[in-house]
Structure 1
Amino acid sequence: MNNVNLITLAQEEVVKTGNPILNISIFIVFLVVTMTVVLRAGKTTKEASDFYTGGGAFSGRQNGLAISGDYLSAASFLGIVGAVAINGYDGFLYSIGFFVAWLVALMLVAEPLRNVGRFTMADVLSFRLKQKPVRVAAAIATLFVSLFYLVAQMAGAGSLVSVLMNIHDFFWQAVVVGVVGVIMIVYVLVGGMKGTTYVQMIKAVLLVTGVLAMSILTFISIKGGFSDLFDAAISMHASSAHLAEKGYEAQAIMEPGLKFGKTLTTKIDFISLALTLVLGTGGLPHVLMRFYTVPTATEARRSVTWAIVIIGAFYLMTLVLGYGAAALVGPDRILAAPGGANAAAPLLALELGGSIFMAVISAVAFATVLAVVAGLAITASASIAHDVYHSVIRNGQSTEAEQVRVSHITVVILGILAIVLGILAMTQNVAFLVSLAFAIAASANLPTILYSLYWRRFNTYGAVASIYTGVISCLLLIFFSPAVSGAPTSMFPDADWHLFPLNSPGIVSIPLAFLVGYVVSLITPPDNLDHLADEMEVRSLTGVGVEAPVDH
């Protein structure tokens, strides 16, 4: 039997599995419950601080749950499980990278950021630098990071609902992405940060509980431990038409190289992705903004500790689920399903617990998408309203009502953009799409944050140059990479304008942004704001004077 027949049979099998009516019914129940929470929280959202940071009223434990909910996105659940199921060892790199990155956030960023800022990352960057140019640059970086992250969530939502509803037609998959975008816009407009934070907490508990249940059921189904799980995955890969077509051995799922290959270029790509994932979290605007939803820097640090425990446990379980999907579902059936690799987790749930279990897990995953995109939209809208409109355009003279109105307009525009780009990116693995957002965050945001906090000679010219270098170099390298064109898995597979050989730009763009920020700061005159540098150092390290206004 040839490969085409095998894949055709796999598609027919997928068509016969699951119950679309049951799936969508449970999803609607989840949607109603979360929307109720958002509506109730929205009634207490009266000021800009409520909309942006929930009034800073959450405890470290609550915020740790919310951070976990923000961070454990569709990429974490759908993308990583799919990446491990198809690529084994190489796919698990995403889990390791996403998790280890929190050490950077905990040790270098969380507490000083909370002490210095108020609403957004730009509050920190502009503390001892000239306000307007830095805030505009930071807002642009925030928009691009948020947009790439949003695209990944939209693509994940399209894949997930396509599996739920058994939709293979591209038009209806695009409609699904559009519906997700509209629901996200409503979430943010109605509930603000308070509403989305409560949804994040609920979602984090449900997601970790669901993943734990799936992990236990995987071992029960395999009737053994890790060795038996790995043996079963190797055995299933041995019969894979997909892998046979590419010339891979079954044992490759346990070895490096199945995803990245073993050429010099792919090895460098592997290093570039690892660098991007580890450094990206410390520059993610929607994660950094979470540090302002707690009342003190101590609670910010405590919230990161809680987040590390929850996130670490989750990522360890993605290894079980990924190999479980490889062993119990198989790569051919996964790739033949709507959404491709992103369908691995829902199909594993179906295999483990039947239609009802699949529907519940998928509904939790969909709640994950909604909560994350809402958090991203709030971050981007806050950056435009607070950093650009209030601080630059209106010179700090706008009312809170005006800022919230501008935030609402930004959410709508960003939602429309994310829908369009999400439709184009539906065939991409969502974990990979998120890695592009991490690349921009690590290139544009992290260098300026670290320099601002820890290097007194850093000046406005260096900050602006570093941010724009990071954003522009990252976007150009992504645009000319095989991720966009020139490969069967590209966003535009029928075109080829790729000039850069790597899928991940971080190995070039991150050092370049650090270097440009350093060199430009040295060759340009200082800002002569030493009194603010002293104040920033005291605030960031001790928290003294956190509530006092900054006088430029």
Structure 2
Amino acid sequence: MEEINPLINMIVFGAFVAVTLFIVFRVSRRKATENEFYAAGRSFSGRQNGVAIAGDYLSAASFLGICGAIAVAGYDGFLYSIGFLVAWLVALLLVAELLRNTGRFTMADVLSFRLKQRPVRMAAALATLAVCFFYLVAQMAGAGGLVALLMGFEGTLATSITIAVVGILMIVYVIVGGMKGTTWVQIIKAVLLIAGAGIMTLIVLFMVQFDFNELLARAVEASPEGEAILAPGLKYTNPVDFLSLGLALVLGTAGLPHVLMRFYTVPSAREARRSVVWAIWLIGIFYLFTLVLGFGAGALVGPETIREAPGGENAAAPLLALALGGPVLMAVISAIAFATILAVVAGLAITAATSFAHDIYASIIKRGDVQPGAEVKVARITVVVIGVIAILGGILAQNQNVAFLVALAFAVAASANLPTIIYSLFWRRFNTGGALWSMYGGLIACVLLIVLSPVVSGRETSIFPDADFAIFPLANPGIVSIPLAFVLGVIGTLVTKQSADHAVKQAEMEVRSFTGAGAEKASDH
């Protein structure tokens, strides 16, 4: 295998950052309104938004984490691809269009439509911030490992500085470009990522004469685990752990606020449906690529080489590019991976900032009495705060697999958000008490179980390897926290009284969510 060339990597990285920053500055508006900053003025077509959704959804977990997980763990690693793809279908078929018809900018708009505004908005905003934090930590950890590998950096300090640089770039993208700039970065990134992954997939298949069985045979030969990589149980020896992860992946997307927020950037429900079709095709094709790339990395690079590289499993895709096409292809693929991280962290940051500024500042603190431009100003300040917190979290978690960290964000989303979204849209009796019980109960249970799990302490691979307070045995808490949140939503509803106008608000929400009547008019307010 050829040596890594840091100079080529630096040039390609610099060129990408320069081009995307130029685009962000070109599309930005210094005095953007809330509609422009949060939803890009609803100016994107269904096709553009579909590509941007793919760009938002296909994160560092999809490219770096899954390829590494398949290369090292084989069958168990591919569970991530299956889970992420099936999850997307659940989100689209169950909630996406209904949320688009009912809300303006955030998930809290939907949840507070027929419930008490202030307590529900606060709960939804806190849940959104928690999901975004876990997701941002995963992306930052991936960025640190990737750039450390490419630039030949060694040691924790260099990786930490890299994470800080990524965080600063994210802050600039969002503060300057808002949702419009972020969307264009996501569109560019999606095209580059799918094209780059497609080219690498074709090269790998060409090397085995397009015989996938031959690729699997080479991966088995290169793996110290042998044929065990083709069967379940290599990584997840506990079936309950395996089931818990799958549950979090499949149900988590329908509660991810940064993905759901993308449906507010199109002018109509019809365009939202078009964007869904584009997104499904692009995401489905990409996850097929990951199967070839993961086993290709296992066969051509080797699991042990991947584990020992800076960034560990997250280095599998760049190392495969080095094996296939030398330093130039590695630089290009790595720049695409870097673009992937920047695009996703920008989307997460603007979602978190929108949730704080729109739901907490404007609706709760100011009670709707906000001066023109003040809400956007608060959102921009929030981006800086979120960026700093994400940098610190990424530094702590820099040795974890990115796909695994994202699965924790999915568990938080499925526990804190999904039950309330489902009940709000489909259960007439559901009330404010049920929403608060479900959101707070699911969020607290999920985060507490993560803190008490082997992810944080008790193992060499934990975030705090020298400590041991892991009293919860599962790595992902989804199998406990998700059903608990659904049950709490029912209990909370049954033990609290409904408001006087509950039936009227419920009827209005049903009409709007299923028909779209009144949705466009409300979006322009």
Alignment TM-score, normalising by the size of structure 1: 0.93
Equivalent of 1:225, from 211, 235, 257? 211
Which residue of the partner structure matches residue 201 of structure 2? 215
Which residue of the partner structure matches residue 114 of structure 2? 128
Which residue of the partner structure matches residue 147 of structure 2? 161
Whether the aligned pair in 2 keeps the contact of 1:221 and 1:352 (CA below 8 Å) is no
The alignment status of 1:437 with 2:409, answered yes or no, reads: yes
Q: Distance in 1 between matches of 2:383 and 2:32?
A: 18
Match runs of 1:347-496 below 5 Å: 347-496=319-468
Q: Distance in 1 between matches of 2:92 and 2:435?
A: 23
Q: Distance in 1 between matches of 2:429 and 2:412?
A: 24
| Deviates further, 203-212 or 303-312 | 303-312
**1:548 Cα deviation after fit:** 4.7
Which residue of the partner structure matches residue 56 of structure 1? 42
Which residue of the partner structure matches residue 177 of structure 2? 191
Offset from partner CA, 1:494-551 (integer Å, 9 cap, x none)? 111000000000000000000000111012111232111111000001011114559x
The alignment status of 1:315 with 2:274, answered yes or no, reads: no
**1:257 Cα deviation after fit:** 0.8
Q: Distance in 2 between matches of 1:86 and 1:222?
A: 20
The alignment status of 1:91 with 2:74, answered yes or no, reads: no
The alignment status of 1:104 with 2:90, answered yes or no, reads: yes
Whether the aligned pair in 1 keeps the contact of 2:104 and 2:522 (CA below 8 Å) is no
Q: Give 5+ residue unaligned stretches, structure 1.
A: 1-12, 241-248
Whether the aligned pair in 1 keeps the contact of 2:34 and 2:375 (CA below 8 Å) is yes
Whether the aligned pair in 1 keeps the contact of 2:31 and 2:373 (CA below 8 Å) is no
Whether the aligned pair in 2 keeps the contact of 1:58 and 1:295 (CA below 8 Å) is yes
Whether the aligned pair in 2 keeps the contact of 1:45 and 1:51 (CA below 8 Å) is no
Q: Distance in 1 between matches of 2:522 and 2:293?
A: 49
Provide the secondary structure at the position in 1 that maps to 2:498. coil
The alignment status of 1:542 with 2:515, answered yes or no, reads: yes
Q: Give 5+ residue unaligned stretches, structure 2.
A: none
Which residue of the partner structure matches residue 233 of structure 2? 257
Whether the aligned pair in 2 keeps the contact of 1:45 and 1:192 (CA below 8 Å) is no
Q: Distance in 2 between matches of 1:548 and 1:463?
A: 27
Offset from partner CA, 1:222-278 (integer Å, 9 cap, x none)? 3441100000000101xx3xxxxxxxx4111101011102xxxx1101000000000
- Tell me the C-alpha RMSD between the 2 structures: 1.2
Q: Distance in 1 between matches of 2:172 and 2:48?
A: 24
**1:83 Cα deviation after fit:** 0.3
Q: Distance in 1 between matches of 2:12 and 2:204?
A: 23
Q: 1:304/1:400 Cα in 2 relative to 1: closer, same or farther (>3 Å)?
A: farther
Offset from partner CA, 1:124-164 (integer Å, 9 cap, x none)? 00000000000000000000000100000000100110111
**1:102 Cα deviation after fit:** 1.4
Q: Distance in 1 between matches of 2:499 and 2:401?
A: 44
Q: How many residues align?
A: 522
Which residue of the partner structure matches residue 6 of structure 2? 20
Whether the aligned pair in 2 keeps the contact of 1:106 and 1:305 (CA below 8 Å) is no
Whether the aligned pair in 1 keeps the contact of 2:268 and 2:520 (CA below 8 Å) is no
Whether the aligned pair in 1 keeps the contact of 2:198 and 2:289 (CA below 8 Å) is yes
Match runs of 1:518-537 below 5 Å: 518-528=490-500, 529-537=502-510
Q: Distance in 2 between matches of 1:224 and 1:412?
A: 48
**1:219 Cα deviation after fit:** 1.4
Q: Distance in 1 between matches of 2:31 and 2:132?
A: 23
Whether the aligned pair in 2 keeps the contact of 1:45 and 1:191 (CA below 8 Å) is no
**1:192 Cα deviation after fit:** 0.3
Q: Distance in 2 between matches of 1:292 and 1:378?
A: 13
Alignment TM-score, normalising by the size of structure 2: 0.98
Letter in 2 for 1:384: F
